[in-house]
Amino acid sequence: MTLIRTSLLNAVAVAMRMLSMLALNKILAVQIGPAGYGLVGQLQNAVTSITALASAGVGTGVTKYTAEYSRDSSQQHQLWTTAGFLGLVCSILIGGGIVIFRRKLALHLFGNPSYSDIFAWVAVCLVLYVFNAFLLAIINGLKEVELFVIANVANSFIALVITGLLAWLFGLKGALVALTVNQSISCVATILLVKKRQWFKLRNFLGWPSREAAFNLSQFTLMAIATSVVGPLSLIVVRNFLIKESGVEAAGYWEAMNRISNLYLMFISTPLSVYYLPRLSEITNVGDMRHEIMYGVKIIVPVTIFLALVIYLLRSIIVRILFSGDFSPVLDLFAWQLTGDVFRAFAWVFSFFLISRAMTKKFLVAELSVTLSFVALAFVNIKIFGVKGVAIAYAANNLIYLVILLFIVTPILSDQKQKSMA
């Protein structure tokens, strides 16, 4: 399975997800408007952080070691048992904490404690949410790309139906509830897809955790805290500041721009996670690693630039199709946001290299540095430029991210004396 073939298969999934998101964005734009979009962004970032903690942040580790142990089924089973145990325990503990502090969470994120029942839904659905992510990580690690694509298409369709229906019937409250239950229902669909797979047997997931597997996965817990916990929390902090300085509608414009970026960057991020992480995890030779990374750069960067240019030229049409006339201020954000997207995609290639080699300290240095710099840059630029300042900060920060990663990775890959990546 090559990066190009994986990308083509992924294009099918992304195309289906795009169609789903086109319809969903339109429904949300009509039903909740820019102000509602800002609150949706708050909840999505919070759910990302909560689920990362509830899974002990081991999803990427499950993918890496599932691929690495492809010839050793006993080690795979120990890995899955350990990850499943950690996910179950953390889900129960964190779910209980969410129930206890749900009013404070609602007040901090939405400015209204009456939304506390949203977090009760999060707590109830947390175990299934985590288990769905766990199964998808295994599928990815086993390189069952076609199944991975089908599962993601099914998840997108479920999200469209549930979110669209609840938003249409109950407005903003319905949309927020849907965002908390989508992945739980998707878990049922994923189970139906994998139930006949040889590896999907109950005995492969039950048992006492392995100390070795727990240690290996713990390295990815720290990485997940940096990316899936600290990162989204920084977005919440910036969004709260933006709401304070420019109003909740401004936060909605920024969220709309982020949705556009995330939509087309799926063409880049998904093949990287589906192909690159398992592939880089397998490589043990420095020369092969250099070749694979350069191969990725030569494909990823030009494709991202091309997509960004097309998006920029069609920006007015895109905003009208995806949203509504109320979102016209989003047009001012495109140039800076798309520039930042190019830097971001370029940096991803090197970020995946650090993850694949479990270089935890180096990864944390890069991620935490750019998280802090984004908050600082956003605060300064919002004061000067308003909502446009967030997009300017995003572009500048992703350039900083790329430079930091190049500074970290280049010496490792250019060391002529080092022959093995083990």
Say yes or no to pLDDT of 179 above 60.
yes
Q: Express each pLDDT in 118-136 by its tens digit.
A: 999 999 999 998 999 999 9
pLDDT in the model for residue 358:
73
pLDDT in the model for residue 26:
77
If one compares 139 and 22, the residue with the highest pLDDT of the two is 139
Q: How confident is the model over 157-169, as a mean pLDDT?
A: 87
Nearest to 258 by CA among 38, 26, 43, 35: 38
Q: Determine the structural domain holding residue 66 and report its residue range.
A: 3-414
151 within some domain: yes
Q: How confident is the model over 274-282, as a mean pLDDT?
A: 74
421 within some domain: no
Percent of the chain with pLDDT over 90: 36
pLDDT in the model for residue 7:
59
Q: Express each pLDDT in 215-224 by its tens digit.
A: 888 877 877 7
Say yes or no to pLDDT of 158 above 70.
yes
If one compares 408 and 204, the residue with the highest pLDDT of the two is 408
Give dist(CA 271, CA 269) in Å, integer.
6
pLDDT in the model for residue 115:
86
Q: In the structure, what pLDDT confidence band is assigned to residue 5 with cuts at 50, 70 and 90?
A: low
Nearest to 132 by CA among 53, 59, 224: 59
234 within some domain: yes
Instruction: Record the tokens describing residue 103, joined without a space.
Output: 């009013």
Residue 387 exposed, middle or buried by CB count within 10 Å (0-12, 13-18, 19+): buried
Nearest to 67 by CA among 245, 226, 279, 227: 279
pLDDT in the model for residue 306:
95
Residues in the chain, overall count: 422
Say yes or no to pLDDT of 364 above 90.
no
422 within some domain: no
Name the DSSP class of 328: G
Per the CB < 8 A criterion, the answer to whether 56 and 217 are in contact is yes
Instruction: Record the tokens describing residue 387, joined without a space.
Output: 């909502």
pLDDT, mean over the chain: 86
Least confident stretch, 14-23, 89-98, 145-154, 203-212: 14-23
Q: In the structure, what pLDDT confidence band is assigned to residue 419 with cuts at 50, 70 and 90?
A: low
**DSSP-assigned beta bridge partners for residue 285:** 420
Nearest to 133 by CA among 182, 71, 197, 201: 182
Number of domains making up the chain:
1
Q: Express each pLDDT in 37-66 by its tens digit.
A: 788 888 888 888 888 888 877 787 888 888
Say yes or no to pLDDT of 388 above 60.
yes
Say yes or no to pLDDT of 417 above 60.
no
Instruction: Record the tokens describing residue 415, joined without a space.
Output: 């060391």
How many Cβ atoms are within 10 Å of 378's Cβ, its own excluded?
26
Q: In the structure, what pLDDT confidence band is assigned to residue 238 with cuts at 50, 70 and 90?
A: very high
Can you tell me whether residue 420 is helix, strand or coil? strand
pLDDT in the model for residue 92:
93
Q: How confident is the model over 353-371, as a mean pLDDT?
A: 86
* H-run or E-run covering 218: helix 211-224
